[in-house]
Amino acid sequence: MVSPISFTDFKSYSLRLGVLALPILVTQFCQAALGVVDAIMAGQVSALDLAAVAVGSGIWLPLFLLATGILIATTPLIGEAIGQNKHDQVPHITQQSLWTAAVIGIIGFVIVNLAPNVLSLMGVPENIQPIATQYLYGVSFGFPALAIYAVLRSYCEALARPEPVTIISIIGLLADIPLNYIFIHGLFGMPEMGGAGCGVATAIVLWINVLLLGAYTTFTKRHQFASTRFFYSFTAPNRVQIKKLLTLGIPIGISIFFEASLFSLGALVISPLGALATASHQVALSVTSQLFMIPISVAMALTIMVSNRFGEKNLLALRHVQATGLIWTVLIAIVSMVGIWLFRPQLAMAFTDNVEVRAQAMHLLIFALAYQLFDGWQVNIAGILRGMQDTTVPMWVTLFCYWIVALPLGIYLVRHTDVGAQGFWMALITGLFLSSILLTLRLRYQQRRLQAQWG
Give the helix/strand (H/E) hosting 338: helix 315-349
Which of 237, 262, 278 lies at the terminal end of a domain, its last residue?
237
Q: Encode burial over 382-405: b for 16+ CB neighbours within 10 A, e otherwise.
A: bbbbbbbbbbbbbbebbbbbbbeb
Distance CA 164, CA 221 (A): 13
Residue 45 counted as domain residue: yes
Residue 1 has what pLDDT?
Answer: 44
What confidence tens digit (pLDDT) does each residue in 186-213 have?
788 777 777 788 888 999 999 999 999 9
Orientation of helix 275-312 relative to helix 315-349, angle to 10°: 160
Residue 267 has what pLDDT?
Answer: 78
Residue 246 counted as domain residue: no
Which of 172, 202, 237 lies at the terminal end of a domain, its last residue?
237
SS3 5: coil
Are 182 and 298 in a shared domain? no
Give the helix/strand (H/E) hosting 126: none
Distance CA 388, CA 395 (A): 14
Residue 91 counted as domain residue: yes
Find all residues with CB under 8 Å of 39, minimum gap 6, and list them.
50, 53, 54, 282, 283, 286, 351
Are 277 and 214 in a shared domain? no
Are 199 and 295 in a shared domain? no
Residue 244 counted as domain residue: no
Low-confidence ranges of the chain (pLDDT < 50): 1
* Burial class of residue 433, CB neighbours in 10 A (0-12, 13-18, 19+): buried
Which of 183, 206, 237 lies at the terminal end of a domain, its last residue?
237
Are 210 and 340 in a shared domain? no
Are 163 and 76 in a shared domain? yes
Are 271 and 171 in a shared domain? no
Distance CA 279, CA 274 (A): 9
Orientation of helix 355-387 relative to helix 422-454, angle to 10°: 10
Distance CA 368, CA 370 (A): 5
Distance CA 240, CA 129 (A): 43
Are 72 and 186 in a shared domain? yes
Residue 205 counted as domain residue: yes
Distance of CA 86 to the CA centre of its chain: 29
Q: What is the pTM of this model?
A: 0.83
What confidence tens digit (pLDDT) does each residue in 365-407 have?
888 887 788 999 999 999 999 999 999 999 999 999 999 999 9
Are 333 and 446 in a shared domain? yes
Confirm if 392 and 246 have CB atoms less than 8 A apart.
no
Nearest to 62 by CA among 263, 319, 242, 247: 263
Are 223 and 260 in a shared domain? no
Nearest to 359 by CA among 419, 414, 409, 421: 421
Residue 392 has what pLDDT?
Answer: 93
Distance of CA 24 to the CA centre of its chain: 12
- Amino acid, res. 249: G
- CA-angle at 150, arms to 146 and 153, nearest 5°: 125
Count how many Cα atoms sit within 13 Å of the Cα of residue 1 in the half-sphere of its side chain.
2
Residue 209 counted as domain residue: yes
Are 208 and 314 in a shared domain? no
Measured in Å, how far apart are the chain's first and last C-alpha atoms?
Answer: 10
Confirm if 414 and 281 have CB atoms less than 8 A apart.
no
Are 154 and 298 in a shared domain? no
* DSSP-assigned letters across all residues of 258-317: HHHHHHHTHHHHHGGG-HHHHHHHHHHHHHHHHHHHHHHHHHHHHHHHHHHHHHHT-HHH
Nearest to 57 by CA among 39, 70, 33: 39
Give the helix/strand (H/E) hosting 232: none
What confidence tens digit (pLDDT) does each residue in 261-282 have?
777 678 778 888 887 888 888 8
* Burial class of residue 3, CB neighbours in 10 A (0-12, 13-18, 19+): exposed
Residue 406 counted as domain residue: yes
Residue 242 counted as domain residue: no
Are 260 and 231 in a shared domain? no
Distance CA 344, CA 356 (A): 14
Q: Which domain holds residue 115?
A: 1-237
Count how many Cα atoms sit within 13 Å of the Cα of residue 172 in the half-sphere of its side chain.
33
Distance CA 65, CA 255 (A): 10
Q: How many domains does one find in the chain?
A: 2
SS3 53: helix
